[in-house]
Amino acid sequence: MLTLGVDTSESIGGVALFDDGRLAETRMMETPLSHAESLFPLIDEILGACRVETSDVGLISINCGPGSFTGLRIGLAAMKGLCQSTSIPLIGVDGTQVARRLVEDRQRVCVALSSRRDLHYVRWFGGSRPKGPTVVMQEAELLASLEHEEREVCLVGSGARQLREKLRPWQHVQIAPDELNQPSPLAVAQWGSETFEVDQLYSVEPLYVEPLLIGGKAA
């Protein structure tokens, strides 16, 4: 099944076409925060480059979060409109699950996706299973949590790229390669094609994760 993957969860968005064993093509936006202007032209570009039509697409898979409030809203609204007009089924996938898949060879994984300021969306995994929900952590809090890990853990995501230098002295924290620590619409397409069961056009919503408020202020 030909799947269109869409990721607008971070400042640089992108799209991908995936058909198991036949096609794996990606296009990323050249300008940060240009989701509204760039998304449909990028889709047209990748369809043309791969010589396929919109009618050939059997599924659209979109990263529904966590991530940028505006980016998620723009991407999901655009793909809902496209799916409604073309009758292509839609699936929303969790961005932390997508990032975890990129390092399948690691047993213990911490996904850290950059948010605004010094905040990160963080989720720990033991094997393929999450050890809890996604939470928002300040950089200092995340570093402290990683420092106290007693076993080797792999850190993956845009937050891993930002924290690489600060984590370099810690032998028990392994940083995923930089090419894995960025949005991957291809991984979104692959995960969606593997997990798709029913059309989520009218049920999928952005996954927003907000900082815990203490005394009226973000923790």
89, 106: one domain: no
Q: What mean pLDDT is reported for the chain?
A: 93
Domain enclosing residue 16, as ranges: 3-95+182-195
Please check whether residue 184 is in contact with residue 6, taking contact to mean a CB–CB distance below 8 angstroms: no
Confidence bin at 113 (pLDDT 50/70/90)? very high
Nearest of 39, 42, 43, 41 to residue 3 by alpha carbon: 43
Confidence bin at 146 (pLDDT 50/70/90)? very high
Please check whether residue 46 is in contact with residue 27, taking contact to mean a CB–CB distance below 8 angstroms: yes
The strand pair at 135-138 and 119-126 is best described as: antiparallel
Would 12 be classed as within a structural domain?
yes
89, 119: one domain: no
105, 150: one domain: yes
Report the alpha-carbon distance of residue 211 to residue 119 in Å, rounded: 9
68, 130: one domain: no
Asked if residue 171 has pLDDT above 60, the reply is yes
62, 116: one domain: no
Q: Encoding tokens for residue 86?
A: 């073309």
Report the alpha-carbon distance of residue 127 to residue 40 in Å, rounded: 36
Q: Note the helical H segments in the chain.
A: 35-49, 69-86, 95-101, 139-147, 158-167, 185-195
Nearest of 153, 156, 151, 152 to residue 121 by alpha carbon: 156
Residue carrying the six token digits 């930089």: 178
62, 102: one domain: no
CB proximity list for 153: less than 8 A, separation 6 or greater: 108, 109, 110, 124, 146, 172, 173, 174
Asked if residue 218 has pLDDT above 50, the reply is no
Asked if residue 142 has pLDDT above 60, the reply is yes
* Peptide bond before residue 66 is cis, with ω within 30 degrees of 0: yes
Report the alpha-carbon distance of residue 182 to residue 201 in Å, rounded: 26
pLDDT at 212: 61
137, 176: one domain: yes
50, 9: one domain: yes
